[in-house]
Each structure stands twice: as structure tokens, then as C-alpha cells.
Structure 1
Amino acid sequence: MKVTVITVTFNSAATIADCMQSVLDQTHPDIEYIVVDGQSNDNTIDIIHEFEPKFTNRLRWVSEKDNGIYDAMNKGLRMATGDVVGVLNSDDFFTTTNVVEQVAQAFSDSTLDAVYGDVHFVREPDLTHSVRHYSSAGFRPWWLRFGLMPAHPSFYARKEVFQKAGLYKTDYKIGGDFEMMVRLFKRFNIRAKYLNIDFVTMRTGGTSTKNMGSRLTLLREDTRACRENGIYTHPIFICLKYFYKVLEYRF
């Protein structure tokens, strides 16, 4: 089974090598790796060039102007030829070498549309110490009204799921991944399975949580995503997720 991993980059020179190396180290033999760069002006492209021969024709990449992260993800989805597709952010890396192998094994169940699991967060310079564990174990679709979803970097779906449901909405700034989850679980009623594995190590400071302005934008977009897909919610409901997320931190 071919698994496509998509990485979106822009000026990611500080982290892209860790990301790409973790894909290269995966034990699954049939991986298509797609990198979509937004015309970086640092050394990102040089690093991609360095890794390209190591992937022996399994890496495809493009560097061109885009209209934001979700436009770039959509480019990757259009390029994907794998049976199953997932996204690995350029700041992140696979936690173990057999993540993709376990994903592929799970899809031997032909009734499954998608799988998801856990991720954990680290803070520079110590990338071995977890400061937050994001578990998707208890997720139920009704949680979406509270802005809670499976960890997006752990979400892998059959390509035909995206073909039926459509691409990421590019008029969302930072909540497009949540809108996609709401659409898939609510409108398309996908059959998804939780895998009890730690998929990805994520660096703290992502786009959706880097400042109060980002949090307010995410609040508005999460509320909108639910309403557009037929889930009743309210910004107050969405705010409740932050009380839940406090439990994820390692003090």
C-alpha cells in the first residue's frame, strides 16, 4: 500500500532537515513524499536538494507562490498518488521509524476510511522531553462542537475520501484543518479508527496558538466550521476546550 506524506514549507530551514530525515527513516517500503514550498528565501530549498537523491525517486516537490497553508496542502493532495494520505508539518517529525508502517497495516481493514492517534509537543532545545501529550484516544464526533478533534498530524485517510469530500477551504486562515475534520465526520460520516501510537513530535509555537490574536481567529473559525457543517455550537462552547487542554500539559 502506497502512503503519501505531504509537508508544506515556508522558510523552514531550521527544522525541515529533522522532518525529512524522519520520513527517510520510515520502515514502510512504499512511501511517496511530497514537499510543497511557498518560495522560501532561506536555505529550505538547499536542504530539500540535499535530501532529494536519498529518497531515490520517492520525493516530489515544488516551490512556488501559494495563497496560504491550506492552498499549499491542496497542491499536495492534487499531486498525491498514494492510497492513503497524511500531512507532516515542516516543524515536526515522526516519533518512531515505524509510524507509517503501522498506518498501512491498519488500512488492511478495507472498511476503514481513516485512522488517527496521538502526538506530543517538545520545546527547544530539548527535543526529547515532552511538555504536552495530545491524546486522541477519547475522541467522539460530538466533541467537535467544543472545538476538539483528533490530532491533525496523526490523521491519515484514503485518497478517495478527499476526492469525495473536497479540498481544504482556503478562506480559513488557521482553522481549515478543523473544518476538514468537521466535514469528514459530520457530513461524510467517515469510519475512522484510533491507533494507540504516538505519531508525531511537534515543536511548540504553532500558527494556531502563537498569540492571542491567533487564538481569537481560531475561535471564530472553529465556530464557523461547525455551523457550516450542521453542528450547533457557540463560541463559549469552543472556549471550553482550553480547560480540557490544560490536562495535556506536563508540569
Structure 2
Amino acid sequence: MNNPILSIITVNYNNRAGLLPTLESIRSQSFDSYEHIIIDAGSTDGSKEIIQSYEKESSHLSYWISEPDKGIYDGMNKGIRQAHGEYLCFLNSGDCLCPDILNKVTFDGTGYLYGDVLMCYERKNKKRTYPDTLDLIYLSARSLHHQSCFIHRSLFQDKAYDTNYKIISDWAHSFQCIVMENCTYRHLPFVVSQCDGRGISSNGKALDKERIQWFQATYPAVLSQSFIDCNALEQAGFREVVHILGQTHKFKKRMKALILFLYRIHRLFSFKHSS
């Protein structure tokens, strides 16, 4: 398909049982302007045969490959390089789109479109609803589930997912785009997808450890410590008070001005040093 609106990228490794419902949730959509890209990491559980069968049935499968890779973000980067859509959505094996949900999305050029997600656990499901406003404190400690995000392809032109991390690279991408680069974003007030709530990203301690490592590796000490402090505020027992303050225009304006000032100073001195 030439120039589809949406590229759906599915990464899979030895998850035949999860891949089947993922493919069915995509195939059942009545929305037509999409391509599907599948990156399999050399599965040996029958996943490859499922993909071959799907290829015969789906006119939307534009590319697939089965070969070893360096992990989920390496696979997602491979999918990005093959994508032609204006928007990208990462729906990996075991994740499912809600019935006919794509027709509810207005692809209007906004950088990040993000909807709510249904987390599926062994005994019950839990809806996770995101706020309409994504402030620094919120995003310093919380992630947008990529299964319910539609990301403009232009936001990947100069930044791929960092394969040095196992859990947080999709969060790091959204943090850079929304907080540091001030890209446009819009909340879709409905559940877009459902995903397994027991995955590796459900380990809160591991998530925070990688976030802190990323802050420290990406930004100078003063700036990274500010982000780490924001992370701690968001997770503190009085975080609701912080959110109330964060909704005031003056608080948000001053906080953002300070962060961007520190960032620009860092870039200025880095440039001078490299010259």
C-alpha cells in the first residue's frame, strides 16, 4: 500500500499464543488505510508459520522478517525503518486493538496521539486512564503505553529507540518529544488497546532504575537530578497535591521555563566544547 495513514508494527518472539489474537484484532478493523509490519526474532514455536498463513490472507501485510535481533527495541527499530505510514503504532504479540477502534481516531498531524489502555491480569482487568495534560512531573515517572499511542513518523527521523535499555526506551522517546521538544499531543478519551499487565514493564523498581540511569546518562548532573526529584515527587504520598499545583498556569510556566533554560545552557556549552 502506498502512503497509508498508519503503520502497525508487531514484534514477536516465541509467542505464538499471543500473536494469534493480535493478528485477529488488526484483521477485524474496518479502517483500511494501514500497513502491517511484523518483526519476528527467529521464533521456533510455530510463529513463523502463523505469519506465513496471515500473509496469504491479509492484503495489508507489507513486510515481515524472521531473524535474530538484540531485543524488543531493536525489533521495533527494524519496523520503523520499513514503515511508510504518517503514523506508527506498536502492537506487539499479545497486545490487541479494541474492536473497530481505528475508525474513532482522527489522524490530524498531532505529534503524539495517546488513548487509554485496558491492563489484563490473571483475575481481573484494570482500565488505565491518562490525563489530558502531560506535565513534567507526570512524565518523569509515568509512561504512555505504546500499544495505545499513534506517533507521527517525523518524530523518529532523528531518534530511534535506545537498545541499551530493556524497558524504558519508549517512555524515553515520549519524554524527549513531549517534555524537551514540546511536540504537540492529544489525549484520545477512550480505550484503544488491551495488553498483558504482567509483562516486564510491570516491575516498578526495574522501571525506576532504568529511568534514573537514562536521566543520568542523557542530561548533565543538575538537570538529571531535577528530573529524578520530579520522579520522586510524582511517586510520593502527597503527589495529588503536586498535581493540583501543576494545574496552575504559573506553576507550569515557571517549571517548564526553568527546565528549558537549563537544557539550553547545557546545549550551548556542549556546542562550544565540541567546537
Confirm or deny that 1:208 pairs with 2:195.
no
For 1:23 and 1:59, how far apart are their aligned partners in 2? 14
Tell me which of 122, 128, 139 is aligned to 1:134.
128
Alignment of 1:59-208 (within 5 A): 59-97=62-100, 99-103=101-105, 106-108=106-108, 110=109, 112-124=110-122, 131-144=125-138, 146-164=140-158, 166-208=159-201
State the number of aligned residues.
230
For 2:196 and 2:19, how far apart are their aligned partners in 1? 12
Distance 1:46 1:239, change over 3 A: farther
Match of 2:248 in 1: none
Q: Structure 1: 5+ residue runs without aligned partners?
A: 245-251
Question: CA shift at 1:168, angstroms?
Answer: 0.3
Distance 1:30 1:145, change over 3 A: closer
> What amino acid sits opposite 1:102 in the alignment?
K
> What amino acid sits opposite 2:144 in the alignment?
P
Percent identical residues: 25
Match of 1:16 in 2: 19
Question: CA shift at 1:46, angstroms?
Answer: 1.3
**Which one has a larger percent helix, Structure 1 or Structure 2?**
2
Confirm or deny that 1:34 pairs with 2:37.
yes
Bigger radius of gyration: 2
Distance 1:39 1:113, change over 3 A: same
Match of 2:50 in 1: 47
Distance 1:25 1:152, change over 3 A: same
| TM-score normalized with structure 1 length | 0.83
Q: Structure 2: 5+ residue runs without aligned partners?
A: 240-275
8 Å Cα contact 1:115/1:194 also seen in 2:
yes
For 1:65 and 1:13, how far apart are their aligned partners in 2? 16
| TM-score normalized with structure 2 length | 0.76
8 Å Cα contact 2:34/2:60 also seen in 1:
no
> What amino acid sits opposite 2:213 in the alignment?
R
For 1:179 and 1:134, how far apart are their aligned partners in 2? 20
For 1:139 and 1:241, how far apart are their aligned partners in 2? 18
**3-state SS of the aligned residue for 1:14?**
helix
Question: CA shift at 1:234, angstroms?
Answer: 2.8
For 2:144 and 2:133, how far apart are their aligned partners in 1? 7
Distance 1:57 1:26, change over 3 A: closer
- Greater alpha carbon shift after TM alignment, 87-96 vs 216-225: 216-225
- Which structure has more relative contact order (CA 8 Å, sep 6+)? It is 1
Question: CA shift at 1:18, angstroms?
Answer: 0.2
Question: CA shift at 1:169, angstroms?
Answer: 0.5
8 Å Cα contact 1:116/1:193 also seen in 2:
yes
